Amino acid sequence: MSGLAIVALQAAAVAAPAFAQSTDAGEAATRRGSASATDLVLQGRIAGADNKTYRELPFQVPAGTARIEVEFDYDRGDKTTIDLGLLGPGDFLGRDGLRGWSGGNKRRFSVAASDATASYSPGALTPGEWKLLLGIPNIRAGADAAYTARIRLTPATRPDAVPRENAAPLRGEPGWYRGDLHMHSAHSDGSCASQSGARAPCPLFLSAQAAVAAGLDFVAVTEHNTVSHLPALRELQPHFDRLLLIPGMEITTFQGHANVFGVRAPVDFRVGSAAVPDWNAVLAQMRERGLPVSINHPIRPSDERCMGCGWTPQPAADLDRVSMVEAINGGDADTPGSGIAFWQRGLDAGHRLTGVGGSDNHDAPTAAEEAFGPSRIGRPTTVVHARELSEAGILDGLRAGNVFVDAFGSRDRLLELRARHGASEVPMGGDLAVPAGESAQLRVQVGHLAGGRVEITLDGVKTDLIARPQVTGVQQAFEFQWPSDGRRHWLRIDVRDAQGRLALMGNPVYFNWAAARP
């Protein structure tokens, strides 16, 4: 094989960690198996005689593989160049055939059934022998270069695992991150003006541009019952390197809608069918896959005005399997259509549910349309305190509940709530034990809402615990006490603006819930 002698090593003979460099001059394959993934390493060398040739590096893909991830590197000295592609089982054009060719433009890529890195095609991963395809456009006579291919095979039991190329945070520091959790594009029913001014399916790129213009840090793209947008998100993310693009899906049924976040494989949405008898079957599947679910616009009509839009599961859905409720959808914060009352009834029933907002945008404007008004993307904005700007960081932050909703999508309004008793202190979403007869100390911080007014809701009822609730400064703190009876309660903060409109909606702190729950 002209400088590509093959050496096979048994996995048991490899004592070094996975991805360790081999000292053998030939090609070696090592494996590390785990419950979550299998890692392979293919190593070898090329020589001057390999100039302007193609080489295939075979590896086995077992049945039940959800994703193939590849990282490739080589010695680049003396103008050596190696291009890269991927072949599935079968001949070059048949069956899987050529699954992609990135040449020299990518050193990391992945392929799955529903998405793939740009340059590669998504599709079923047929078990059998796959091959990395190397093209060698240049290596000088007498030169010698080593290469290493690292391959990760993710099993079908983890179809939603984040590919390594998307796992690094866009920002690594903890803080408040602003985003929109509900929007649509041409991949479902999003439309906007074409070049001629007619309505046309709206490219996902325009939604990302509008999110950047709104000053957002993240968006979740939640198309109706499809994951066809995943390749587009994979293509856009490297360009939008300050805007996190979270893959989502709006599970749209005859008995209600709900967003699922972090999805990378289809979801069976056929509630009421033999395959999916009810919403609890969907929620059980999402819990098994580790994906958070948010009920959307729960008290919308569910008739010919908005077919299936209201939340009407039969039998009733288990809200303990739900993570969030879309309490504000678009501009409905102060309307009878708001989901706030539904959300608070769930809290009263003992369910820990994070209240969120989403624009439900379907018409990201073009640059020309911006002259007629700003996009609705980012109105409302869900503001999440997260350890970092990454998919895992944002989703964990949403689950934890240190979240508020900026109803008008400002870029700087702030709402923080912390509760303290003794040495223990928790933010929104936290649970604080306060014995009967003792009091918790609470501190509210409001930013950039002068002229507003702070409101306290305790167990669904407005309560006056702050003597002077008016916001008079750019940054203002409010402190008050809450006396405990030892039973379970929840308390949250809203802020209305100078016109009396709901501007900021806060999530609860929970009192004595850990002790009260079985």
Identify which has the larger pLDDT, 444 or 23.
444
Euclidean distance between the first and final Cα of the chain, in Å? 66
* Residue 362 burial class via C-beta count within 10 angstroms: exposed 0-12, middle 13-18, buried 19 and up: middle
Among residues 121, 155, 189, the one where a domain terminates is: 155
Residue 487, domain extent: 413-518
Residue 50 one-letter amino acid: D
Six token digits for residue 311: 């939340």
- DSSP letter assigned to residue 389: B
Residue type, 373: G
Rounded Cα gap, residues 369 and 61, in angstroms: 49
Whether the Cβ atoms of residue 134 and residue 82 lie closer than 8 Å to each other: yes
Specify whether 103 is located in the same domain as 226: no
What are phi and psi for residue 139, nearest 5 degrees? -150, 130
Contact 444, 454 (CB under 8 A): yes
Mean pLDDT lowest among 14-18, 78-82, 166-170, 381-385: 14-18
User: What is the count of structural domains for the chain?
Assistant: 3
- Regarding whether 110 and 179 lie in a shared domain, the answer is no
pTM for this prediction: 0.91
CB of 406 closer than 8 Å to CB of 503: yes
User: Region 206-214: what's the mean pLDDT?
Assistant: 95
> For the CA atoms of 502, 504, 505, 510, what is the dihedral angle to 10 degrees?
-140
Closest of 33, 366, 382, 70 to residue 217, by C-alpha: 382
> At 364, which amino acid appears?
A
Last residue of a domain, one of 411, 437, 462: 411
User: Tell me, what's the pLDDT at 306?
Assistant: 86
Do 386 and 466 lie in one domain? The reply is no
Average pLDDT of the chain is: 90
Question: Among 302, 287, 293, which Cα is nearest to 325's?
Answer: 293
CATH number (domain holding residue 518): 2.60.40.10
Split at pLDDT 50, 70, 90, the class of 84 is very high
Residues 402 and 253 reside in one and the same domain? yes
Distance CA(425)–CA(434), nearest Å, equals: 11
Q: Is 380 inside any structural domain?
A: yes
Of the pLDDT bands very low, low, confident and very high (cuts 50, 70, 90), residue 37 is confident
Confidence of residue 513 (pLDDT cuts 50, 70, 90): very high
Question: Domain check: are 394 and 450 in the same one?
Answer: no
365 versus 8: which is more confidently predicted?
Answer: 365
Q: Which two tokens stand for residue 300?
A: 């919308």
Q: What is the DSSP letter of 173?
A: S
Q: Of 346, 353, 348, which Cα lies nearest the Cα of 488? A: 348
Q: Decide: 438 and 473 in contact? Cβ < 8 Å.
A: no
Do residue 400 and residue 418 come from a single domain? no
pLDDT, tens only, 89-116: 988 777 789 999 999 999 999 999 999 9
pLDDT in tens, 389-419: 999 999 999 999 999 999 999 999 999 999 9
Residue 149 shares a structural domain with residue 183: no
Average pLDDT over residues 223-240: 97
What is the C-alpha to C-alpha distance for residues 63 and 86, in angstroms, rounded to an integer? 18
pLDDT digits (tens, 9 = 90+) for 120-135: 999 999 999 999 999 9
